[in-house]
Each structure stands twice: as C-alpha cells, then as structure tokens.
Amino acid sequence: MYGLVNKAIHDMVCSRFGEETWKEIHHKSEVEVDAFISMESYPDDVTHRLVKAASLVLGLSASEIMQAFGEFWVQYTAEEGYGELMAMNGDTLPEFLENLDDLHTRIGVSFPKLQPPSFTCNEVEEQTLHLHYHSHREGLAPMVVGLVQGLGTRLDTVVEVTQIQSKSEGADHDEFSIQYKPH
C-alpha cells in the first residue's frame, strides 16, 4: 500500500489518542519506518502490523479500527488534495459508489503501482443498494463499511451498512447492503 494509507493511520491515531499512543503502537508494530512518504509504496504487511499493534494498544478489534479508519479516510483524503476529484465522482451516495472504479483509475495516474479494489453497485429497491467489493487484499471489508459511512457524512446522507456476504467465509467477494436516506 502507498505511504498515504500508513500516514493516515498515524494521523488518525495522533488526532484521536495523541502522539504518545502512536509511539507505543509504532513500537509494538516493529515497523522500522519512522515517517511514511505518501507517494512511496510499502508492503501490505506494514499496514497490517500497524493495525494489529493499534488493536493491542487501544483495546479495539482490528475490525473496529479498520471501520474507524474507513470513516477517517474519506475526510483525510479530501483534505490531502483529493477533494476536487471526490467532488467530481458524484453528488449522491449511489452515484459516488457507482463511480468508485473510475475514481481509482484517475488516482492511478499519480500512483502507478496502485492496486485498487473493484466495486460494482446495484439498486435492489428504492434507497437500498448492494455494493460488491472485489480485492486481492484480505481483511479490508470493515474499512469498506467505514468508507460508506464516511461518504454518507460527506454527502449529507444517513446510511446503514450491513455485510451480507464475506470473502473470509468462503464467498468469492464481499457484499454489503446499504440503506440510505439523503437529509
């Protein structure tokens, strides 16, 4: 994953729990990188070790941390210079989710080693849709829940996200049911 992800984990921990807590997490993770460079690619294991250490230090499950990180990521990337790209991706939650693969393609211009997930979306009834998440990476489904919740906040939409199919339980991809209601 790119350093931007690990830098965001650092920033989330520091903003919510303080620099000393980050130092403890960083030490427990045994990650030898002191400062992450946003545009540099790092092994996925670095991110997984940071999340595992954060889980131990904060007393939260890895899923809870990844979900919180997903919510944080939406605001963080908007503030880190991707807000205009995000604004072009759609004004409503269904439109934004439908265009996620296109957003990743545009971001890939700046991040040539990007290996983004793929998302497909279908409406199952009014204000309910299913989001299909395909990724070669393991353990990131809780982050998708947080991302959708963060997008709901960004797009002034109340969302309820339920995972209805899990790759970790043998399905070929993760699937989420999303009920939404614009304010």
pLDDT tens readout for residues 54-73? 999 999 999 999 999 999 99
Give yes or no: residues 95 and 53 share one domain: no
CB 74 within 8 A of CB 157: no
Cα 1 to its chain centre, rounded Å, is 12
Give yes or no: residues 106 and 154 share one domain: yes
Q: Which residues contact 149 (CB under 8 A, 6 or more apart)?
A: 67, 70, 71, 159, 161
The pLDDT of residue 158: 97
The domain that holds 141 is classified in CATH as 3.90.1520.10
Provide the whole-model pTM: 0.93
Give yes or no: residues 92 and 8 share one domain: no
Give yes or no: residues 110 and 160 share one domain: yes
Give yes or no: residues 31 and 101 share one domain: no
Decide if 70 is inside a domain.
no
User: Which domain covers residue 25, as residue numbers?
Assistant: 3-60
The total number of structural domains that make up the chain: 2
Q: What is the pLDDT of residues 132-169, one digit of tens each?
A: 999 999 889 999 999 999 999 999 999 999 999 999 99
The pLDDT of residue 183: 86
